[in-house]
Amino acid sequence: MKKTIPIPENEMEPMQKMRPKEISVKKKNKLEVFLADVGNATGFVLKVFKNIFGKDFEFNQFLKQCFAIGNQSLGLISVTGIIIGLVLTIQSRPVLVNFGAVSMLPGMVAISIIREMGPVITALICAGKIGSSMGAEIGSMRVTEQIDAMEVSSTNPIKFLIVPRVLAATFMLPLLTLYADALGILGSWIGANIKGDVSFVLFISQAFSGVEFSDLFPAVVKTFFFGAVIGFVGCYKGFNAGRGTESVGIAANSAVVMASLLVIIVDLIAVQITDLL
């Protein structure tokens, strides 16, 4: 029978000595880990804000990211927008027919899309598409020491990588949402014509007769926050990725989950605030 000889502490490799510590980290109270993460995230957000307003804004990187975000998401949002409009119309029509209120269909669908469906669906799609892409890209840069290489080249990675991405997400999401809204209404018109016959001009006129500025404005404002949340979360998860390749996947995955959850929470807060006003 083989005897196991324990290695003395002073003969251990540093990585070996680290193992008991890692185990103790895993045993940490979940609340402690959560609070530490919130603290780190807050520090990250403050750093980003400090660099947004500093000099030497990376305008070219900002434009590049705007194009990437728009280009990445356009196809997906086009398809989703049309389908949402179509489905809402097909589902709502029978109920409205029963009440003899089918003429209210365009206005009702337009309000649903503009107030809630357009912004939230667009944000969730972007959380998946953009959030994961940012988490994976920046995480992989962290793992392969590209971020370190930037720092030793006297370049602030927050300014070069993070600020343009957060701002691009913040400003592109409202545009993508308006685009999704427009296609949703188009989809609704197609849906209305499956079992009826209504001209495009009449449909649009009925749709917008029910929509007021107070419907559009809060809906657009909240999309700026959705975009910021997606940008911050995607970049934060990537920037704080661990050292192994596995951590790139973890960063991308947790960016999507956290961004989607925060979008829903921000939406809840935005709806409550709009309701109070």
Partner 1 sequence: MNATETNTNEGVVVIQDLTKSFDTTEVLKGITLSLKKGENLVVLGKSGTGKSVLIKCIVRLLKSDSGSIKVLGNEVTELNNTDMNEVRRKIGFLFQGGALYDSMTVRENLEFPLKRMYKNLTKAEVDAKVKEALENVGLPDSIDKMPSELSGGMKKRISLARTIIVDPEIMLYDEPTTGLDPVSSHEISLLINEVQQKYKTSSIIITHDIECAKTVANRIIMLQEGKVYKEGVLSDFENTDDELVNSYFKSQNITNTKTI
Quick one: which segment of 11-19, 73-81, 98-106, 172-180 binds partner 1 (CB under 8 A)?
A: 11-19
User: Per CB under 8 A, does 23 bind partner 1?
Assistant: no
Near partner 1 by CB under 8 A: residue from 40, 42, 146, 209: 146
User: Per CB under 8 A, does 247 bind partner 1?
Assistant: no
User: Per CB under 8 A, does 2 bind partner 1?
Assistant: no
User: Per CB under 8 A, does 148 bind partner 1?
Assistant: yes
Which residues, other chains included, contact 213 with Cβ-Cβ below 8 Å and sequence gap of 6+? none
Query: Which tokens in the block code for residue 47?
Result: 């750093």
Of 207, 257, 181, 198, whose CA–CA distance to 107 is shortest?
207
User: Per CB under 8 A, does 240 bind partner 1?
Assistant: no
User: Per CB under 8 A, does 149 bind partner 1?
Assistant: yes
Q: How far apart are CA 138 and CA 79, in angstroms?
A: 28
DSSP for 179-223, please give it.
Answer: HHHHHHHHHHHHHHTTSS---HHHHHHHHHHS--HHHHHHHHHHH
Of 202, 34, 217, whose CA–CA distance to 114 is shortest?
217
User: Per CB under 8 A, does 37 bind partner 1?
Assistant: no
Window 100-139: contact mask with partner 1 (x via CB under 8 A): -------------------------------------x--
Binding to partner 1, residues 44-103 (CB under 8 A):
none
Q: How far apart are CA 183 and CA 193, in angstroms?
A: 15
Write out the residues near partner 1 by the rule CB under 8 A: 10, 13-15, 17-18, 21, 25, 137, 140-141, 144-146, 148-149, 151-155
